[in-house]
Amino acid sequence: MILRPRRFLPSLSLLLAFEAVLRHGSVTAAARELSLTQGTVSRLLASLEGQLGQTLFLRERRRLIPTEAALHYGAEVTRALDLLQRASTRIATGAEGGALALAVLPTFATRWLAPRLGGFLQANPGVTVNLATRTARFSFQSEPYDAVIFFGAADWPGARHQKLFDERLTACAAPALLARHPVQAPADLAGLTLLQMETRPGAWPAWFRGQGVDPPAHARTGMLLDQFALMIETAISGLGVALLPDYMARAEIAEGRLAPVLRPAVPGAGAYWLAWPEAKESHRPLAAFRTWIAGQGR
């Protein structure tokens, strides 16, 4: 049996007032957001401080200065409120078929998943898919997701995995850049900036090996970016050569905004995976999604 002393479980009204004041730095702004009077917000803050036995704000003239304890407490309160809101959203939108909370890589979501997702929803009426973009690893125990789509190896802690497809890489550059600096062989890239993805340090070496040559010294140097969407726009601007998963390059190549460099779609150094916690194995929307995505190919 879990015992939860009331002293350490402040009411939601107290926490909402505290979080709003901490975020705005003002009782007036917090009161406006919460549709309360300033006096009510001040009383809620005083009640929370009394319940916790801690001073959360220092009053200096008309300013509220959060204490160090308030800043640490506020980070945890914000996280807890986010979890409650997401959980409530999931159950409220679950309807007949249930809800699937899916974390996914940003550009994968826009370039690969979103154009196909309508087919899944049409085949599974009543199921709601709630998407959130995530690039960093997280724990299923502390985050309210049913599954995640990520890149790398089948090594998500405490999870089961389903391989989606291996990554294949296509180097692309703006046609105007290639007109000024033609690339007929891998060595011709020596005078061009190679755009580097922060999460793919081995991508360019893998691409050079796919062209049948050893990676040169400059394969790991160049402008460093943290999002493929930014890399695409940087390449279109003529600032360097992008190395993209082939599914991300297709639209820009078809539109003539980028042109492939040498052999396209060479094997990369990782794969895309769907992972989920073992406790969610029988979650009906997730089971339906696993079956559907297995038939999507590349």
CATH number, domain with residue 71 = 1.10.10.10
Of 198, 254, 203, give the one whose Cα is nearest residue 228: 198
The last residue of one of the domains, among 43, 64, 91, is 91
Dmax of the chain from CA atoms? Answer: 74
* pLDDT recorded at residue 273: 94
The residues of the chain scoring below 50 in pLDDT are 1, 94-96
Same domain flag for 137 and 280: yes
**Tell me, what CATH number does 237's domain have?**
3.40.190.10
Q: Clarify whether residues 141 and 282 are in a common domain.
A: yes
Strand segments, DSSP code E, in the chain are: 57-60, 63-66, 98-104, 127-133, 147-152, 159-173, 196-197, 224-225, 242-245, 259-260, 266-277
Report helix, strand or coil for 287: helix
Amino acid 135: pLDDT: 85
List Cβ neighbours of 30 (8 Å cut-off, separation of 6 or more): 17, 20, 21, 23, 24, 41
Does 78 fall in a domain? yes
CA–CA distance, 169 with 204 (Å, rounded to integer): 9
Confirm whether 1 is domain-assigned: no
Do 40 and 104 fall into the same domain? Answer: no
Residue 71 shares a structural domain with residue 104: no
Q: Say what the pLDDT of residue 62 is.
A: 72
pLDDT at 222: 85
Q: What range does the domain containing 128 cover?
A: 97-165+271-294
Please tell me whether residues 278 and 130 are part of one structural domain: yes
My answer on whether 205 and 62 are in the same domain is no
29 and 39 in a single domain? The answer is yes
- Whether 188 and 254 map to the same domain: the answer is yes
Q: Which of 38, 61, 91 is the last residue of a domain?
A: 91
The structural domain count of the chain equals 3
At residue 3, the pLDDT reads 61
